[in-house]
Structure 1
Amino acid sequence: MEEFNDLKNIWSQQKVPHQEYETFLAEAKSYAKKEKFKNLKANIILLLTCIFIGILWWYYQPQYISTKLGIVIAILTMLVYLFYYNDAYRLIIQPSEEIGSKQFLKKLLSFKQKQKMLQTKGINLYLLFIFLGVILYMYEYASRMSLEGIVITYGVVIVWFAFNWLYFKPRIIKKQNEKLNHIINALQKIENQLK
């Protein structure tokens, strides 16, 4: 990673232990590598999900407009979320030549701001529209069920989305923020020591 060359040069001239810098550099590189992998994995999963939903549409040939609308809403929601997700992650995974530590810190702070927007408004809208898409998609098939079946089916879907919203979402956000804040704080500490 070229991002840290100027920081490394200045650091080597300081009386601060070199080991601390090496530890930070390894953490920062590891974080960027993991984020790049997570981004790639998210892209693959969401695109494969969109393809799978399209195959379901083609294979089962739904008759109700609500089913088709549910499919379109779900696919569009995933693609729009993917666009904003990639836009945010582009800041830290895009290869950059000879970028300094101050510019890297700016990129991290910009990424943190975009990530916060994704974690609040973005994920809330994503879950809401995916939920709407699933409910509309299921209507055609649920209409053929007994009242008991409808209640159980929609109940399971509502409980699953509520569980994701109330349990998984806060945990994932907390984990993401802890990692990013750790890297940002370490870089800010090093920058302050060099002043």
Structure 2
Amino acid sequence: MNFDNLKDLWQQQSAPKPDIEALHHTAGKFKKTATIKMLLCIIALIFTAAFIIGVWIRFQPQLITTKIGLVLILLAILLFVVASTQSIGMFRAVNMAETNTEYIDHWMAVKQQQKKMQTLILSLYFILLSAGLALYMYEYAVKMSFSGALLAYGLTGAWILFNWFYVRPRHIKKQNSKLDEIIDGYRKVMEQLGEDTLKG
């Protein structure tokens, strides 16, 4: 995408306009920050998966429920890592746009991928993780007192619910707000430059 050409055309407009350089800066900063966060998340999940496999090998759980639980947790991690890798690919594709319209189309694709992450992927992740933890904990919970097992399951459930109902919505709202700001800003630029209607 020829940003210099876009900037020159934008500066020729007589109508009041937002700062195109600030818009480019906001978009670049968001892309960089989101990519770094996803990479760190992927690294953390890979280390977590390695730790889980190590625990499995070291302690050799006896019950099939424990083994199924570990498999479900690993599947949840794999699902999230694959989806996050796809999201990083979408962010990288933004720089490969050849035209102004393609540039915004790439941002729209990023938004669609993020929507998929926020709904389908996160839902499956939490379902698999919750079921996996519940099954994994059973072998050890049966050896505890009733109050101990109740406390263990209660704390685990509270942690999952806190992340689902508090952390997740706040993260989604913040991310969507920034994406909408970027896309709407570029839409206004394209409209004033007489570009084609955006796809999607």
Whether TM-score is above 0.5 comes out as yes
State the AA in 1 paired with 2:66: T
- 3-state DSSP of counterpart to 2:21: helix
- How does the TM-score come out when normalised to structure 1? 0.90
- Provide the rounded CA distance (Å) in 2 between the counterparts of 1:15 and 1:58: 69
Tell me which residue corresponds to 1:160. Answer: 159
Contact 1:89/1:111 (<8 A) preserved: no
State the AA in 2 paired with 1:101: N
Contact 1:3/1:98 (<8 A) preserved: no
Tell me which residue corresponds to 2:142. Answer: 143
Shift in Å, 1:16: 5.8
Structure 2 residue 36 is matched with structure 1 residue 33: no
How many residues matched?
Answer: 194
- 3-state DSSP of counterpart to 1:144: coil
Shift in Å, 1:9: 4.3
Contact 1:74/1:129 (<8 A) preserved: yes
Structure 2 residue 89 is matched with structure 1 residue 90: yes
State the AA in 2 paired with 1:167: Y
Structure 1 residue runs of 5 or longer lacking an equivalent are none
Contact 1:4/1:100 (<8 A) preserved: no
Shift in Å, 1:33: 1.1
- How does the TM-score come out when normalised to structure 2? 0.88
> What is the CA RMSD across the aligned residues, in angstroms?
2.0
Shift in Å, 1:11: 2.6
Tell me which residue corresponds to 1:49. Answer: 48
- Provide the rounded CA distance (Å) in 2 between the counterparts of 1:172 and 1:52: 27
Off by >2 Å, runs of 4+ in structure 1: 2-19, 93-101
Contact 1:3/1:97 (<8 A) preserved: no
Shift in Å, 1:32: 1.4
Tell me which residue corresponds to 1:23. Answer: 22
- Provide the rounded CA distance (Å) in 2 between the counterparts of 1:123 and 1:192: 35
Q: Deviations over 1:12-40 (max 9, x none)?
A: 44446787111111111111111221121
Contact 1:91/1:111 (<8 A) preserved: yes
Shift in Å, 1:96: 3.9
Write out aligned runs for 1:1-195 (5 A): 2=1, 4-15=3-14, 20-94=19-93, 96-97=95-96, 99-195=98-194
